[in-house]
Amino acid sequence: MLTIVLAVVHLMLETLFTVKFGQTFAGYVPDLIAVALLLIGGYLTIKKLKCSGYFVKCMGFCVLSSLSLLGVSI
């Protein structure tokens, strides 16, 4: 449940940042994908605990897509 709430908050704040500071569409799309995956993974985990693998994959995508911001290359 916490993941779903935080994903919605992240989506709202990211959209506000994009509107206010003019982030490019290429910078906004990975965030939209990450939020969508987190919402789907969180929903599937709530509905059926055996689907927790989807949630782990979603978190992996979020972490790997953020590594470039930290200066880490893989």
Sorted by where each begins, the domain ranges of the chain are: 2-69
Beta strands in the chain (DSSP E): none
Residues in the chain where the model's pLDDT stays below 70: 65-74
Predicted pLDDT at 62: 72
Structure tokens at 47: 């509905």
Amino acid of residue 37? L
Question: 43: burial class by Cβ within 10 Å (0-12, 13-18, 19+)?
Answer: middle
Say what the pLDDT of residue 14 is.
85
Nearest to 34 by CA among 69, 3, 1, 61: 61
What is the structure's pLDDT at 32?
A: 86
